[in-house]
Amino acid sequence: MNNRKLLSLAITSVTTAAFLLPVAFDATAAGKDQGQERYIVKYKEGQAPGANAVVNKAGGKIEKDLSRHNAIAITLPAGKLAALLKNDKIEYIEIDELRSPVPMVRAAASGADSFDDEGTPPGEVRPYGVAMVQAEGMTGNTEGGIKVCVIDSGYDINHEDKPIGPVVTGTDDIGGSGPWDEDGSGHGTHVSGTINALDNVIGVIGVFPNAPMHIVRVFGDDGIWAYSSELVDALDDCMDNGAQIVSMSLGASKPTRLENEAFRKAEKDGVLSIAAAGNGADWTKPGFDPMHYPAAYQSVMSVAAVDHDGYLAGFSQRNTDVEIAAPGVAVLSTVPTDSMYNVTLDVDGHSSFEAVPMDNFDIPAAPTGGPLVNCGLAATAADCGVSPPSGFTCLIERCAYSFAQKAVSCETAGGAAAVVFQNAVTAGPVYGTLGDTLVGIPVVGIDRNDGLYLRVNALNAVSLVNFALTGYDYDYYSGTSMATPHVSAVAALVWSKHPACSNMEIRNALNATALDLGPSGQDHYFGNGLVQAQAASDYLDAHPCSGN
């Protein structure tokens, strides 16, 4: 037994478990746009033309042609579903569920890694995860035909530390998301950097430097969501462009039948799919966390996150489908050029305080906030007082309630900015995520000493959250989003050295050689353990692949 303890980081809002029905009737959960509801329609074999006519007759609009799956995604006027459900040419109809990037939380430096005064790593930094997954010193075969497909928010083609074509190709506008070689949210650029950042004299180094890659952009610059049908379309595009590994730092709590079928078919066709286990751990409730899809499909490897010392990340979801673990706390990687912000809380008469931004809000163009108001734990808007001044800054203590609930309480009370301070002296500043909750105000974290000082000495002082561009091209983030590309890169690295192997033989080798971190054998926290590149490669040297 080698039990690991919880790392005290962000505990995020909890998603809700869902189970798929053959036909989904709950239209209230579907994606909606001005009275339109979005569904996946799967035809019976050979019945697509007739079913399309039925969709048109019902006033529906085809949003996505998934002909290789004998299906379409449609929007349908409210109340028009009944006619389709009666049609004997349709095998099933289900809600086209949303898929979101798994939130990444900006984090402090880990281990010896650090920026210099200009915001650029001194020389070339080897992020701690490279050695932790045993990739240090290994050389992959970039000509071996093993390609990783990253389905995410895009790829900054102009970054100084990223390979470009023909090593990297891409596909634009899945769901109208934008050009593949641009990245407005930074999520995809950070993820891909962990995989293939160049081994040169600058920046960082990836787990498999210069690894061949195909990018499919499904998220726009807002980095909010896409649809399940668009993920299926992206998976098809990965396969069409020769990818053997599909890396997905995305998902949601509800599965779809078509998505499950698509990933199962991809597995049979030789693809290894890898996805984030999710950031929705809730340690305040007994039992384990909900499943997170696509990671929870049997044909997909589900990746948990650990920190520099191998402790489980507090946000990493725990359930029966967790298969393997990788570094996901304070991971240093590439971000879009000149996209990073230095965030401070500027308090009139009390200097400035360093702050860490959360996610899912629009960065304001000017300093935002107002008089500092003590909102306690911000369980509800009433915690900010009966009649606080208009446009104030909420000072909130971390404890008991999710960051999302605290942010909503502040905004509902009329707050213009929310500042959450730590509830433990030794824990440093708050690194948090709002999960899937969108708010219209900035939400940032500070450490406990600063929070207590402000609560005693600065209430009612004008307190503004300020975002200033830094010019950083690299940054530290946390999340199972950051763990997933470590596993994807290790799989590519090992597979490039053993090209005769099948996808299942690579998957089995990674699981068989993972470093056990929890209860003996596979568990709900770390799966089979921490992925190990060299051990997996040695295992395949000793047990040559048959290609089956």
For 97-109, how does the pLDDT look when each residue is reduced to its tens digit (9 = 90+)?
999 888 776 665 4
Query: Which residue did the predictor score with more confidence, 175 or 338?
Result: 175
Per-residue pLDDT, 437: 78
List of residues 6+ apart from 77 with CB closer than 8 A: 35, 36, 37, 58, 59, 60
Asked if residue 40 has pLDDT above 90, the reply is yes
- Asked if 279 and 102 count as a contact pair (C-beta separation under 8 A), the reply is yes
Q: Which of 69-83, 350-364, 430-444 is modeled with the greatest confidence?
A: 69-83
Most confidently modeled range among 11-15, 42-46, 357-361, 497-501? 497-501
**Averaged over 167-174, what is the pLDDT?**
89
The span from the CA of 252 to the CA of 270, in Å, is 25
Q: Structural domains in the chain?
A: 31-95 (3.30.70.80), 124-336+475-542 (3.40.50.200), 341-469 (3.50.30.30)
Indicate the range of 171-185, 324-338, 404-418, 498-512 predicted with least confidence. 171-185
Report the DSSP pairing between strands 443-446 and 300-306: unpaired
Backbone φ/ψ region at 192: left (φ over 0), alpha (ψ -120 to 50), beta? alpha
Q: For 16-25, 36-45, 197-206, 342-351, which range has the lowest pLDDT when averaged over its residues? A: 16-25
Tell me which of 204-208, 337-341, 492-496 is least confident: 337-341
Rounded to whole angstroms, the Cα distance separating 332 from 330 reads 6
Q: Which residues contact 378 (CB under 8 A, 6 or more apart)?
A: 384, 394, 396, 401, 405, 406, 409, 410, 418
Strand partners, 264: none
Tell me the C-alpha distance between 45 and 69, whole Å.
Answer: 10
DSSP character string of 349-398: TS-EEE-EE-SSSPPPSS-EEEEEEE-TT-SSGGGG-SSPPTTEEEEEE-
pLDDT band at 54 (very low <50, low <70, confident <90, very high): confident
- Burial tier of 349 (Cβ tally within 10 Å: 0-12, 13-18, 19+): exposed
